[in-house]
Amino acid sequence: PSAVAVMGGLGGWYANNDNGFRSDEFLTDLYENGLKDYCDYVAIHPYVQPLSDGDFTKTLANIDDLRQIMIDFGDEDKHVILSEIGWTTATGTGVSEAVQAANIKKLYETVLYDEAYNFIDIVALYNLRNAGTSPSSDEHNYGIIRNNGIDLKPSYQSYIDVAAKFERDFVEKPL
């Protein structure tokens, strides 16, 4: 009875995808079949398509859509885990490194400081380190550190800045 149950991370949180999967419909189906009684957290991966669209407001819209479904099913007290979120900087299909950095900063500041998003308890950034070296591979370019593990992308500093702000604002300092 003390275990915490997290719904498997719901990917593809966008209505206008072309793979036939509608995560909003899937989440609705889960709620219609009793999800509210079977998990303690709803987990999502609120990516925006196309990946090159760095408009942060669309990321928030994806989260808001999820939240509205939860509210519609009387599950407004349940919290959310962003179990995977990030922006690829792949050449041709990703965002610029500056946009990646800005979005990471906006994401964490929104979750930490905007009361409208106080239902989000955990944010898992994808990915700490680039997974490969191909500049055109989406999967190789989500990191905030380059694949060599040494060179930092601008998003690394955004992440560090937000963590420092969090520590200043929320972590009690010993006397």
Quickly count: other Cβ atoms within 10 Å of residue 2's Cβ.
3
Q: Which of 44, 151, 60 is nearest to 97 (CA)?
A: 151
| Triad 79, 45, 116: Cα angle to 5° | 40
Spatial distance between the Cα atoms of 99 and 86, rounded to a whole number of angstroms: 11
User: Per-residue pLDDT tens for 135-144?
Assistant: 999 999 999 9
Quickly count: other Cβ atoms within 10 Å of residue 80's Cβ.
22
Between the two ends of the chain, the Cα-to-Cα distance in Å is 39
Amino acid at site 148: N
Spatial distance between the Cα atoms of 29 and 84, rounded to a whole number of angstroms: 22
Mean pLDDT score across all residues of the chain: 90
74: left (phi over 0), alpha (psi -120 to 50) or beta: left
Q: Whole-model pTM above 0.85? A: yes
Does residue 94 contact residue 50 with C-beta atoms inside 8 Å?
A: no
Amino acid at site 58: K
Q: Is 19 helix (H, G, I), strand (E, B) or coil?
A: coil
**pLDDT at 13 exceeding the cut of 80:** no
User: Per-residue pLDDT tens for 88-130?
Assistant: 999 998 999 999 999 999 999 999 999 999 999 999 999 999 9
Q: What is the mean pLDDT of residues 46-59?
A: 83
